[in-house]
Amino acid sequence: MKRLIISDTHIGSRYSRKTELLNLLRQADFDQLILNGDIIEFLKVPTFSRISLEIFKTAKEKAKEIIYVIGNHDVAMRDFISHTFENIRFVEEYCFEENGRKFRIEHGDKYEKGIVHFRFIMQIISVFQDAIEKIFDVDLSTWFNNLKINRRKIKRLWDIIDLNNDVDVLIIGHTHMPEAVIWIDENEKIKTYVNCGDWVQHATYVEIEDGVVRLRNFLKK
């Protein structure tokens, strides 16, 4: 089975790389599609364009199975997606085993301290998001993530890894920072951490096939 994992597409935001995402879904070969959170930008259903709907339509046509891991941005959109696109499985995290390796996929917002951890507060902020972005010409999601300090990010990374030492591969999103870390633990087992990145600043995604994990950039083929 070939799995395709994308995260933080923020469909509904004018900063989302929707065209590139649609092209990826049309061109890529995959059996299972895992949407790893923050796929839809808050309460922006009324601003859905034709290309936004085409993304979901193409995903449904191509994938044998779609797993939707709920993120902090799209928690309010679950009912809309369920009624608009059938047979999408919603989960808080997705775990499986392949080629003797244990995988865990989750959005990652639960590791973030501060306001983004409280999803109901983020829903309130979203009501004013369009106005703020137009007035200040700024993408709020990118702005929030740029506030992070690298030293704190590195410390948080190893804290996250320690909390997930029961799996061999941990894949998250949320930070919009694509990265992959591979190491050998004290039991001489190969461990892997991957952040999917995003489809606002980047156009990165993860492929898994036969237990092999690859982080790819659609803009750098």
Per-chain mean pLDDT for the chain: 82
Question: Are residues 2 and 30 in contact, defined by beta-carbon separation less than 8 angstroms?
Answer: yes
Give the pLDDT band of residue 134 (cuts 50, 70, 90).
low
Question: Are residues 70 and 77 in contact, defined by beta-carbon separation less than 8 angstroms?
Answer: no
pLDDT of residue 42 exceeding 80: no
Q: In the predicted model, what is the mean pLDDT of residues 31-51?
A: 76
**pLDDT in the model for residue 151:** 40
Q: In the predicted model, what is the mean pLDDT of residues 87-100?
A: 92
**pLDDT in the model for residue 12:** 78
- The residue ranking higher by pLDDT, 82 or 87, is 87
- In 3-state terms, the chain is what percent helix, strand and coil (to 5)? 35, 30, 35
| CATH numeric code, 2-217 | 3.60.21.10
pLDDT of residue 44 exceeding 80: no
| Angle value at C-alpha 34, between 32 and 38, nearest 5 degrees | 160
**pLDDT in the model for residue 131:** 62
pLDDT of residue 211 exceeding 80: yes
Give the pLDDT band of residue 46 (cuts 50, 70, 90).
very low
**pLDDT in the model for residue 65:** 94
Overall pTM > 0.85? no
pLDDT of residue 150 exceeding 70: no
**pLDDT in the model for residue 175:** 86
Q: In the predicted model, what is the mean pLDDT of residues 11-28?
A: 91
CA pair distance 101, 187, nearest whole angstrom: 14
DSSP 168: S
Q: Which is it for strands 32-36 and 2-6: parallel, antiparallel or unpaired?
A: parallel
- Helical (H) or strand (E) element with 104: strand 101-106
**pLDDT in the model for residue 132:** 62
Tell me what percent of the residues of the chain surpass a pLDDT of 70.
Answer: 71
Grouping H, G, I as helix, E, B as strand and the rest as coil, residue 207 is strand
Listed by start position, the domains of the chain span 2-217
Give the pLDDT band of residue 111 (cuts 50, 70, 90).
confident
**pLDDT in the model for residue 110:** 84
Which of 88-97, 134-143, 203-212 bottoms out in mean pLDDT, i.e. has the lowest?
Answer: 134-143
Give the pLDDT band of residue 180 (cuts 50, 70, 90).
very high
